[in-house]
Amino acid sequence: MDLHIAASLMPLVGWAVHGGILARRLASARRDPLTGLHTRAGWTARAEHCIRRHPDAAVLLVDLDHFKTLNDTHGHAAGDAALIAIAERLGAWCGRKGIAGRLGGDEFVAVVQDLAAAELEALTAALHRPLPYAGTSLPLAASVGVCHIAELPVPVLTDALTAADAAMYAVKGRTRRGSRTPR
């Protein structure tokens, strides 16, 4: 090969390698390192796309119940195992009809193309299944708030998340600030 051609190709090869490295870093930044689910940034773009294409979509907000107690009682490794289990169950439940993500801490989110009551019951049952861990059975529980996009005046993801958050706290039986709601 001509030395001039080789010299002119070297910067192109360098940029291609650099671009590949950056693409891998960006992809890994959009995945939660513990659970493998999408982070908020990675999930949001996919959720907005799903909402645009599926007017019957639903947004779910999932919050683990008594997670601090589980961590304090069984240790942070058990808490991590619980987060991984919840992520796997939520991801499996979404399957090809939705996208799951982890917002942070013990909060998860999902968007599905269409949601039937039976599917929500199946998710709740899966999230409440105990987790075998280190010779014991860890109790898992989660509150799930749902917002059906079709029920919003304008189908916007931020509004859907706000409504799902309010619904999730209603399931928990308290307001966003922690006080009990009257029954």
**How many Å apart are CA 175 and CA 183, to the nearest integer?**
12
- Cα separation of 68 and 173, whole Å? 18
Q: Is 29 helix (H, G, I), strand (E, B) or coil?
A: helix
SS percent in the chain: helix, strand, coil, step 5: 55, 20, 25
Confirm if 47 and 59 have CB atoms less than 8 A apart. Answer: yes
106 classed as catalytic: yes
- 2, 56, 63, 106: the active-site residue: 106
Q: Any idea which residues carry the catalytic annotation?
A: 106
